Amino acid sequence: MTTEKLNIGIILGSTREGRVSPQVGEWVKGIADKRGDANYEIVDITDYNLPFLGTTDGTEPGIAAWNEKLASLDGFVFIVQEYNHSISGALKNAIDFAREAWYNKAAGIVSYGSTGGARAAEHLRGILGEVKVADVRAHPTLSLFTDFEEMSKFNPQELHLDNVNAMLDETIAWSGALKTLR
């Protein structure tokens, strides 16, 4: 096993104007950074200006940069929001834009929505299987009604803290184990 710290990307799954995912991502990063057990960074899909898959010749620099970023990471925490009982189109598009850069890595999921984003998270688990990302069981689910004020200002209940740490424990353990396969 390597003694180097793992690199974990906290991927913001939404891109819309007014999105709340940056607030949730920063909260997770704050908890993660206190642990000191990995290098955690926010990865924002909007920074890559990805086109819609298949509508261009694929030479946009953001596509290569997105793949390079993913390749530099050992594991992921997906910040997932529920859009029509699934993940956002932007996140699905971003997942589809890479292949090998995902393989043999691990991921945790933090989701939100009216029912904690559970339906979106379950869809994501199916997608991750196809790109050979092992999704861990511990899964913080945040409610738009009790963890947000007016569904826009993030104010999480304390009870989620243990679950975020459990999710990170599992993500780090599996990310380290899978690194030995690559």
Contacts with ligand FMN by CB under 6 A lie at 14, 16, 19-21, 81-85, 113-115
In this chain, which residue has its C-beta nearest to ligand FMN? 113
Minimum gap (Å) between residue 89 Cβ and ligand FMN: 9
Distance CA 48, CA 62 (A): 4
Q: How far is the CB of 153 from ligand FMN (least distance, A)?
A: 11
Closer CB to ligand FMN, residue 39 or residue 115? 115
Looking at this protein, which amino acid is placed at residue 30? G
From the CB of 57, what's the least distance to ligand FMN, in Å? 29
How many C-beta atoms lie closer than 10 Å to residue 72's C-beta?
12
Smallest separation (angstroms) from ligand FMN to the CB of 99 = 26
Assign 43 to helix, strand or coil.
strand
DSSP string, 118-157: HHHHHHHHHHHHHTTEEE-S---EEETTTSEETTTEE---
The smaller minimum CB distance to ligand FMN, of residues 112 and 174, is found at 112
